[in-house]
């Protein structure tokens, strides 16, 4: 692994463990066993480190937000997609632990987050539209728009909420919460199927 990538990985672990504001570039260098000058050669301060990690997160998440329009999705595929998104968010949890403060300090990050949320909401709306076209979902356009907003907020803040409560299985709990947001909008038998799957998710989280 290249030194630059090792620095990013080390910073990610420290940011996730302690919170980004509580970690200095000196601490990252010490943890890696390299000189501050060596770290500075690759990243001129903490802001480029954060932006570098966000770029990596963005590159990992973008393929999930752009599924082929002609892909034939089975019902379980929707929730696998959701699980993969939550996993990526959990891997870069520091970005969401104090998002408003972090985005306020780093305008480039704020712009990137806004663009990513726009893409996420567009993808969620597309997936819900597919469910509706398949005759599995009954809500009108306005209700679905509100549902997209509720899912987005749950994805953004659920992981940090689980961390505060010191709960295990946080990824599965977050996916369960989204499933239960969608369930009331589904028609039978899709509704019963998702409720059963959601309970299995919750059982595996405990």
How many domains does the chain fold into?
2
Domain membership of residue 51 (yes or no) is no
Percent of the chain topping pLDDT 70: 94
- Measuring CA to CA, which residue among 114, 102, 113 is closest to residue 23? 102
Count of CA atoms in the C-beta half-sphere (13 A) of 143 = 10
pLDDT, mean of residues 184-196: 87
83 and 162 share one domain: yes
Which single residue is written with the structure tokens 């980004």?
20
pLDDT-derived band at 206, boundaries 50, 70, 90: low
Is-contact 45 36, C-beta < 8 A? no
91 and 180 share one domain: yes
23 and 75 share one domain: no
Q: Using the Cα atoms of residue 80, residue 179, residue 63 and residue 143 in order, give the sign of their dihedral.
A: positive
Rounded to the nearest integer, the mean pLDDT of the chain is 88
Domain membership of residue 49 (yes or no) is no
DSSP state of 187: P
Q: Which residue has the higher pLDDT, 101 or 48?
A: 48
Domain membership of residue 141 (yes or no) is yes
Is-contact 26 36, C-beta < 8 A? yes
Q: Rounded to an integer, what distance in angstroms lies between the CA atom of residue 51 and that of residue 47?
A: 6
Is-contact 155 136, C-beta < 8 A? no
Q: Rounded to an integer, what distance in angstroms lies between the CA atom of residue 203 and that of residue 200?
A: 5
Please tell me the predicted confidence (pLDDT) of residue 31: 95
Range(s) of the domain holding residue 22: 3-44
CATH number at residue 23: 1.10.10.60
155 and 180 share one domain: yes
């Amino acid at each position: 692994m290249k030194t630059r990538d090792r620095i990013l990985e080390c910073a990610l672990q420290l940011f996730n463990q302690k919170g980004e504001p509580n970690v200095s570039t000196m601490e990252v260098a010490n943890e890696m066993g390299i000189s501050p000058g060596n770290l500075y050669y690759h990243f001129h301060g903490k802001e480029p480190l954060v932006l570098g990690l966000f770029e990596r997160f963005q590159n990992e998440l973008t393929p999930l937000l752009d599924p082929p329009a002609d892909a034939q999705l089975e019902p379980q595929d929707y929730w696998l997609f959701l699980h993969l998104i939550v996993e990526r968010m959990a891997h870069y949890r520091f970005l969401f632990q104090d998002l408003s403060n972090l985005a306020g300090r780093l305008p480039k990050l704020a712009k990137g987050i806004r663009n990513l949320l726009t893409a996420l909401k567009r993808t969620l709306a597309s997936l819900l539209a597919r469910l509706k076209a398949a005759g599995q979902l009954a809500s009108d356009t306005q209700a679905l728009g509100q549902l997209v907003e509720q899912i987005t907020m749950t994805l953004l803040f659920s992981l940090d909420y689980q961390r505060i409560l010191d709960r295990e299985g946080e990824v599965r709990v977050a996916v369960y919460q989204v499933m239960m947001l969608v369930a009331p909008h589904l028609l039978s038998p899709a509704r019963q199927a998702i409720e059963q799957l959601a309970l299995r998710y919750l059982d595996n989280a405990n």
